[in-house]
Amino acid sequence: MNIHDSEKIAGILESMGYAPCDKSEEADVVVFNTCCIRETAEQKIYGHIGALKKLKRANPDLIAVVCGCMSQQDGVAEKIRASYPFVDIVLGTSNLNLLGDAILSAQKKKKYFNVDFTRYREEDFVQSRTSYPNAWVNINFGCNNFCTYCIVPYVRGRERSRPLDDVMTEVRQLLADGYREITLLGQNVNSYGHDLDGGVTFATLLHAIGGLSGKFRLRFMTNHPKDLSRDVIDAIAAHPNICHNIHLPVQSGSTEILRRMNRRYTRDGYFALIDMIRASLPDVGISTDIMVGFPGETEEDFCDTLDLVRRVKFSSAFCFVYSRRKGTPAYSMEDQVPPTVKKDRITRLLACQNAVTKEISQTMIGKNYEVLVEGANFRYKNTMCGRTDGGRLVNFKCDESQIGNFVTVNIERASSATLWGVITEEK
């Protein structure tokens, strides 16, 4: 979602005549599109903003911009104004469309600070897409769930869905422009349509896009277990171009911790959901988010999480340590878990998931998978990469001219999460 917001920011700047540059020392405008979901991200951003002071001294005409989730937090805009007076523009999450006006103001040496919750339309932007052959499409914004650890509802606002026709118009245009994979974005895509007329649901949208002609893939993220329903799974099963790949954040394997998190499902409920998904999509790749060290988490709670990881067998998992976020209920909870315990648990969790991933990878050796060639894997010389339908990244050799094409890859070897293969068919 942040990548896609950055594409909107770049689109506005390019429409004003600016072009990307590689070095901040050569820039006329520097924009920080910020995240605040964890404290470490926020600390890094403040460090980067501070480094601009030297650049601003060397180039007084440099325009410094801070936008995104961090700037939407209560008191942050005032802090930036007081502590970083060389920052010219601060915008919140819901008024990125004002960036052009803000730049014009800054060119006249007038600061522009606006973090009011307003509403923009996706159609307000000319987007500079950077992820070909993939394209991101927002379908809803904000969140109504208020998990006790999460800052997102406070900085992204309440849920609001884009009209179905607007989403379909954007998707059709992207396919006409040659994009081969569309990823639908929302804090909780499963709640799409609840605020629209006519009984529109997320399943309605999946059927509409899945029914479009042409060779392409459709993915979506992220899902909330309490809202992922049978009709969504049926829609995935009904259309070959909807990937059998579901990101389903569990956060914890302990029912008590899930209750304290206000996740509104139980451990057993999550297992039942996994069973339902795999009954209809036996080849599905399921990924997740898992948090350790939430306030009150005991060793028994953590062991429940390890047990869940072993039983579900996630294809991949984003594992992280709980980070206190001021303004959320969990910030003030008692029984905060000591850092040493958090460190021990994240180490054990990663080892557990790595073992599961390695086990899954070994079963893929010798099999053929359709892969969309996405681009170069810069970690390995002369190597391209792409993902299987189930979401696993595969490395292989081919020419750059294949980017955007579908190929069949035979998996020859695996190293834990890394898969290596050879192209056996070009499509």
| pLDDT grade for 427, boundaries at 50, 70 and 90 | confident
**Same-domain check for residues 73 and 141:** no
CA–CA gap between residue 226 and residue 215 (Å, rounded): 32
Residue 2 has pLDDT above 80, yes or no: yes
Structural contact between residues 248 and 276, judged by C-beta atoms closer than 8 angstroms: no
Same domain, 184 and 154: yes
Residue 85 has pLDDT above 80, yes or no: yes
* Residue-level pLDDT at 127: 85
Report the chain's terminal Cα–Cα distance, integer Å. 30
Indicate the burial class of 18 (C-beta count within 10 angstroms; 0-12, 13-18, 19 or more).
middle
Q: What's the CA gap between 142 and 157, in Å, rounded?
A: 5
Instruction: Provide the token pair at 323.
Output: 């980070």
Query: Which helix (DSSP H) or strand (DSSP E) does residue 349 occupy?
Result: helix 339-364
**58-62, 217-221, 283-287, 378-382: lowest mean pLDDT where?**
378-382
Q: In angstroms, what CA-CA distances link 42 with 34, 73, 291, 323?
A: 8, 11, 18, 11
> Tens of pLDDT along 134-150?
999 999 999 999 999 99
Identify the pLDDT of residue 213: 95
- Residues with Cβ within 8 Å of 390's Cβ and at least 6 positions away in sequence, in order, are 243, 244, 245, 283, 284, 285, 315
The pLDDT value given to residue 263: 98
Determine the 3-state secondary structure of 5 from DSSP.
Answer: helix
User: Model pTM?
Assistant: 0.93
Q: What are phi and psi of 421, to 5 degrees?
A: -150, 180
Q: Among 176, 177, 145, 139, which Cα is nearest to 158's?
A: 145
Last residue of a domain, one of 363, 394, 418: 363
Amino acid, single-letter form, for residue 250: V
Average pLDDT estimate for 91-119: 91
Specify whether 356 is located in the same domain as 370. no
Per-residue pLDDT at 265: 98
Encoded tokens for 37: 């979901």
CATH number reported for the structural domain that contains residue 298 in this entry: 3.80.30.20
CB 295 within 8 A of CB 336: yes
**In terms of domains, do 383 and 338 share one?**
no
The encoded tokens of residue 322 equal 């709980």
- Which CATH number does the domain housing residue 408 bear? 2.40.50.140
- Beta-strand ranges (E) seen in 322-417 are 368-376, 384-388, 393-396, 406-415
The residues with which 90 forms a beta bridge, in sequence order, are 66, 113
DSSP for residue 11: H
Is 414 found in the same domain as 354? no
pLDDT of 301 reads 98
**pLDDT score at 302:** 98
Phi first, then psi: give them for residue 367, nearest 5 degrees: -100, 155
Q: Is the pLDDT of residue 104 over 80?
A: yes
Shared-domain flag, residues 240 and 369: no
* C-alpha of 308 from chain center: 23
- What domain range includes position 272? 122-363
One domain, residues 104 and 151: no
Residue 107, Cβ neighbours under 10 Å: how many? 14
Instruction: Verify that 147 and 8 share a domain, yes or no.
Output: no
Domain total of the chain: 3
Element of type H or E holding 174: helix 164-176
DSSP 14-80: HHTT----S-GGG-SEEEEEE--SSHHHHHHHHHHHHHHHHHHHH-TT-EEEEEEHHHHSTTHHHHH
Are 172 and 212 in contact by the 8 Å Cβ rule? The answer is: yes
Please report the pLDDT score of residue 37 as a whole number: 81
Q: Collapsing DSSP states into helix, strand and coil, what is residue 124?
A: helix
Query: Which residues pair with residue 369 across a beta bridge?
Result: 409
Distance of CA 138 to the CA centre of its chain: 11
289 within 8 A of 249, measured Cβ to Cβ = yes
- Segment 216-221 shows an average pLDDT of 97
| Model confidence at 220: pLDDT above 80 | yes
Are 386 and 254 members of one domain? no
With 0-12 CB in 10 A as exposed, 13-18 as middle and 19+ as buried, what is 299?
exposed
CATH assignment at residue 98: 3.40.50.12160
Write down the pLDDT at residue 314: 98
Is 221 in contact with 232 (CB distance < 8 Å)? no
Q: Nearest-CA neighbor of 255 among 186, 178, 307, 189?
A: 307
| Average pLDDT value for the chain | 94
**Contact call for residues 282 and 242 (beta carbons, < 8 A):** no
Q: Is the pLDDT score of 67 beyond 90?
A: yes
Do 130 and 60 share a structural domain?
no
pLDDT tens per residue across span 269-280? 999 999 999 999
Residues 283 and 359 in one domain: yes
274 and 162 part of one domain: yes
What is the C-alpha separation between 93 and 4, in angstroms, rounded?
A: 12
The answer, yes or no, to whether residue 120 has pLDDT greater than 80, is no
Residue pLDDT, tens place only, 355-372: 999 999 999 999 999 999
Find the helix packing angle between 267-280 and 230-238, rounded to 10°.
Answer: 20
Q: Supply the pLDDT for residue 361.
A: 96
